[in-house]
Amino acid sequence: MFSYIDDRIHELLTESGKIRSVGGPGERNLSLLGPVPLPVREPDGGAGGRTLRWYPFVRRTELQAVRRISRKLQRGASRDLVPLVSSFMCVSSLLLHGDFEQRDRPLIRLHSCCMTGDVFGSARCDCGPQLRAAYARIFAEGAGAVVYLASHEGRGIGLWAKAVTYILQDMGQDTYQANESLGLPRDSRDFTDAALVLGAFLRPGTAVRLLSNNPLKQEHLERGGVQVAERLPLVAGVGAHNARYLQAKRAHGHDFGAHGAALLDAAASPGDGR
Higher pLDDT, 69 or 262: 262
- CB-based burial of residue 79 (10 Å sphere; 0-12 exposed, 13-18 middle, 19+ buried)? exposed
Q: Which of 118, 126, 174, 187 is catalytic?
A: 187
Annotation marks residue 190 as catalytic: no
Which is catalytic among the residues 155, 189, 209, 274?
189
89-121 pLDDT, tens per residue? 689 999 999 999 999 999 999 999 999 999 999
* Distance, C-alpha 124 to centroid of its chain: 18
Residue predicted with more confidence, 173 or 90: 173
Across the range 190-219, mean pLDDT stands at 96
Q: pLDDT tens, 6-47?
A: 778 878 888 999 999 888 665 578 989 999 999 998 877 666
pLDDT of 253 higher than 90: yes
> How large is the average pLDDT for residues 175-188?
95
Is residue 274 part of the annotated active site? The answer reads no
The pLDDT tens digits for 138-147 are 999 999 999 9
What pLDDT is recorded for position 2? Answer: 44
Q: Is residue 194 predicted with pLDDT exceeding 80? A: yes
Give the residues across from 232 on adjacent strands: 211
State the pLDDT at residue 1: 36
Whole-model pTM?
0.86
pLDDT at 174: 95
Residue 197 clears pLDDT 90, i.e. is over it:
yes
Percentage of the chain surpassing pLDDT 90?
Answer: 70
- Which pLDDT band, with edges at 50, 70 and 90, does 3 fall under? very low
What's the whole-number average pLDDT of the chain? Answer: 87
Does the CA dihedral 269-270-271-274 come out positive or negative? positive
Question: Based on the number of CB atoms within 10 Å of its own CB, is 172 exposed (0-12), middle (13-18) or buried (19 or more)?
Answer: exposed
The per-residue pLDDT for 71 is: 58
Answer with the residue of higher pLDDT: 84 or 182. 182
Residue 62: pLDDT above 70? no
DSSP state of 203: P
Please say if the pLDDT value at position 274 is more than 70. no
% of the chain residues with pLDDT over 70? 81
DSSP reduced 3-state for 251: helix
**Second CATH level (architecture) for the domain 91-267:** 3-Layer(aba) Sandwich (3.40)
Residue 170 has pLDDT above 90, yes or no: yes
In this prediction, residues 234-250 reach a mean pLDDT of 95
